[in-house]
Structure 1
């Protein structure tokens, strides 16, 4: 069954239980069940947030959308974006920097968890509105993706990582939170991941959508890889700053501003902060669950050779001919 669209000339979707029951349903990884909408899979909370965003989001000048597959460096990039865009007002070495007082999720909200009436309330102390989401590009509001006249200059930053590492991180996350009613086994999670019924999956389709858009509109979409951000953070942060129209000045380079942002936002620094090790983003979803280890190559260590080979095969098959390599 095809889900309704949310274009201006279509009947608005009401995300009711009755409407949810009309959608294809499958088991999920981080939630017990997911629902298929516009070709991708979402939990009920994420889907409600998506519908709200599609129907009520109104762009503003210099808005930034950070998009990731779940467990692909979202929290890290939230911190980097906030520090980068607000570096004039909040120096990275300031002992009272907002990132030392609040979690990245408080400063850069998930739009799926934010009521439309609260879209502006998070950014009273920020130079730009920065929203995070896991939405595929076909699901983003058209006001975000079709800003062809440049009137609002909305930028989309997309970050993804090795598929095997993403899956392993997602599996641990699912069992380290209280969102599921019961733990999920590695084998079942792997089966569902390969089927694509995880949040915002199939992951390959989501990644390809942003990859292709970044090739067609490089001034609109910046495609970034987690592994490159880990291995060459200074180069990638400078690249990000240029894309956002906020390049580092010669004076900032002399004062080692890139180093300071890198240090402030590092896994080691952020995971030690009390604000990130206590409290909850949502009931059952602790702030500490977003800081596990952030390592590269964990997929090859944790998966059986057969599992790793299967994910590599699917990835090669899905990305074949696209020019994309992860």
Structure 2
């Protein structure tokens, strides 16, 4: 896929949000729903789950290197991450749907990513007892990242200005529904489903090596320490931002003139965006929405 040309950008009209089984969605994630719903998982599949802009590509790349970094070095240089780790519910005109890409993956295990809230995940993943890695990011940084992503991604609804977007975020009117329901729904699932590892973006930023160790023990991998150190170096934000196979610069629907797909990858960048009033309002809403869950986040490290 070539770098996008502006004519393609102009032809794309931004999608409208609509309610889909109680969750805000756009057609690009519902057009192939029958196949998504009936997707056949396998016991050795690893499903990567995040709310959008919570470290999806990061964790995908880490897992890809853990499993296939040594066997197939050319895979790392010739195939973009979104082909190696298909986006299950995606249905974009410019490439095969995610279900088809996943079905055709030659690897074992298959690494598959999704942004679906817990109640919409194909039931075969539970039936097969597939392993699931969930990454959650604090709401303030997640909102900022999602805002910049929506500005540059033509297959997302028009975000409006920062204040407009933030109000929508607090109301849960984003693609894939409310952040609050997503992170707490998956947190609850962990209580009854033991094959789920729940990770935090902030922990990954603070100490990637330590989190890599947790990941290996969850997956039953005995990756040698020098291999883990090499991976830790390779997945640092600046390295991935420069890497054409992980930085999404080959995707024709993203306008890098507006913002890069990988912007900062920091914890606490929300402080550069929230006004005092916005922050106070956000904290109020947050307290309300999160009062029934025990999941706790750090907004700085």
The TM-score bracket by the shorter chain reads: 0.7 to 0.9
The runs of 5 or more residues in structure 1 that have no matched partner are: 1-29, 91-95
Distance (Å, rounded) in 2 between the aligned partners of 1:181 and 1:193: 13
For residues 190-248 of structure 1, what are the alpha-carbon distances to aligned partners after superposition, in whole Å with 9 as ceiling and x for unaligned?
1211111101111101111100111232x221111000011011111111122122243
Number of the residue aligned with 2:8: none
For residues 61-118 of structure 1, what are the alpha-carbon distances to aligned partners after superposition, in whole Å with 9 as ceiling and x for unaligned?
300111111111111111011111224524xxxxx45333332212111112225343
Number of the residue aligned with 2:23: 40
Distance (Å, rounded) in 2 between the aligned partners of 1:51 and 1:137: 17
Offset of residue 47 of structure 1: 1.8
Number of the residue aligned with 2:94: none
Q: Normalising to structure 2: TM-score of the pair?
A: 0.84
Selected match of 2:210 from 224, 235, 240: 235
Offset of residue 318 of structure 1: 2.3
Alpha carbons 1:157, 1:224 under 8 Å: kept: yes
2:188 is the alignment partner of 1:212: yes
Number of the residue aligned with 1:106: 83
What is the CA RMSD across the aligned residues, in angstroms?
2.4
C-alpha spacing 1:115/1:133, structure 2 compared with 1 (3 Å)? closer
Residue 52 of structure 2 aligns to a residue whose secondary structure is coil
Distance (Å, rounded) in 2 between the aligned partners of 1:224 and 1:180: 26
Offset of residue 274 of structure 1: 3.7
C-alpha spacing 1:138/1:274, structure 2 compared with 1 (3 Å)? closer
C-alpha spacing 1:153/1:275, structure 2 compared with 1 (3 Å)? same
Selected match of 2:65 from 83, 96, 118: 83
Alpha carbons 2:33, 2:89 under 8 Å: kept: yes
Residue 133 of structure 2 aligns to a residue whose secondary structure is strand
- List aligned pairs for 1:174-185, cutoff 5 A: 174-179=150-155, 184-185=160-161
Residue 30 of structure 2 aligns to a residue whose secondary structure is helix
C-alpha spacing 1:82/1:202, structure 2 compared with 1 (3 Å)? same
Number of the residue aligned with 2:229: 259
Alpha carbons 1:65, 1:131 under 8 Å: kept: yes
Q: Normalising to structure 1: TM-score of the pair?
A: 0.78
Offset of residue 280 of structure 1: 3.2
- Between 311-320 and 62-71, report the one with greater CA deviation: 311-320
Distance (Å, rounded) in 2 between the aligned partners of 1:135 and 1:233: 25
C-alpha spacing 1:98/1:118, structure 2 compared with 1 (3 Å)? closer
- Between 171-180 and 269-278, report the one with greater CA deviation: 269-278
C-alpha spacing 1:181/1:38, structure 2 compared with 1 (3 Å)? closer
Number of the residue aligned with 1:9: none
Alpha carbons 2:152, 2:254 under 8 Å: kept: no
Residue 224 of structure 1 aligns to a residue whose secondary structure is strand
Distance (Å, rounded) in 2 between the aligned partners of 1:182 and 1:35: 14
For residues 122-154 of structure 1, what are the alpha-carbon distances to aligned partners after superposition, in whole Å with 9 as ceiling and x for unaligned?
x22x33111111100100111112x2xxxx440
Distance (Å, rounded) in 2 between the aligned partners of 1:201 and 1:165: 17
C-alpha spacing 1:176/1:225, structure 2 compared with 1 (3 Å)? same
Residue 132 of structure 1 aligns to a residue whose secondary structure is strand
Distance (Å, rounded) in 1 between the aligned partners of 2:166 and 2:122: 31
If asked which structure has higher relative contact order (CA below 8 Å, sep 6+), I would say 2
Number of the residue aligned with 1:119: 102
